[in-house]
Amino acid sequence: MRKKIIAGNWKMNLTGAAATDLIEAIKREVADVDKVEVVVCPPFTELKAAAAACAGSNVMLGAQNVHWESAGAFTGEISAAMLQAAGVKYVIIGHSERRQYFGETDETVNKRLKAALAAGLIPIVCVGETLEERDAGRMEDVVVRQTKTGLADIGAELSKVVIAYEPVWAIGTGRTATPAQAQEVHALIRRTLAEMSDGDVANGIQIQYGGSMKPDNAKELLSQPDIDGGLIGGAALKAESFAAIVKAGV
């Protein structure tokens, strides 16, 4: 039985007291939840304070990106060792916004993934098709390619990876992915993982849904057989809505 995992991606939001206050409020809301892994991913500048706020609780700390090199002349980047030192356990890799705005590719996703695994971090690797790709009937090709290329050459460590399916076409476009549509792609990802390893490994990998999961649709989405959690954006910035999604996974 795969444990549900709900991760809040704060993106470029919250600083100082507002960030730690949100974690404290989330801790209170989910203190009695033990059947769901709860993760918060604040901006880099808040990681140290967030680690202190999360300490001793059931809320784990994640980061929003990681570079593939351990050190060097990479202005604006952050290494796996730096994340480790800040108390990070999880790291998001290949988010659709990184692909869209910052030139992320399947190949750089793979390099970042390997660096995260080497440092003992748990990667949350994002895959998903755009509106244009879905309308062109390319969903399967895109998702399979991103999964196979992004997760290439990691061997047995595949079992340590979390996948997040982001239907980019359903985020901010006015179009909504139904639970059935989300389940279809999650099942496709799991079949692809089985081709890359074996059924036992694939059946143990958590696959999150990252397409605007909210308190009012979380229960139905999380009841689908291959949806093991959520990568939450806007709803993660309020303790009440984020906790409601967490509790939907119990």
The 10 Å Cβ neighbour count of residue 9 is 24
Nearest Cα residue to 229 out of 38, 33, 27, 24 = 38
Nearest Cα residue to 94 out of 70, 67, 125, 123 = 125
Asked whether 51 and 88 are in contact (CB, 8 A), the reply is yes
> In the annotation, is 166 catalytic?
yes
Nearest Cα residue to 237 out of 54, 6, 8, 4 = 8
29, 37, 166, 186: the active-site residue: 166
- Residue carrying structure tokens 């404290």: 24
95, 104, 129, 186: the active-site residue: 95
> In the annotation, is 29 catalytic?
no
- Scored b (16 or more CB within 10 A) or e, 38-73 reads bbbbbbeebbebbbebbeeebbbbbbbbbbbeeeee
CA pair distance 238, 226, nearest whole angstrom? 27
CA pair distance 228, 182, nearest whole angstrom? 11
**Residue 135: φ, ψ to 5°:** -65, -25
Indicate which residues carry an active-site annotation.
Answer: 95, 166
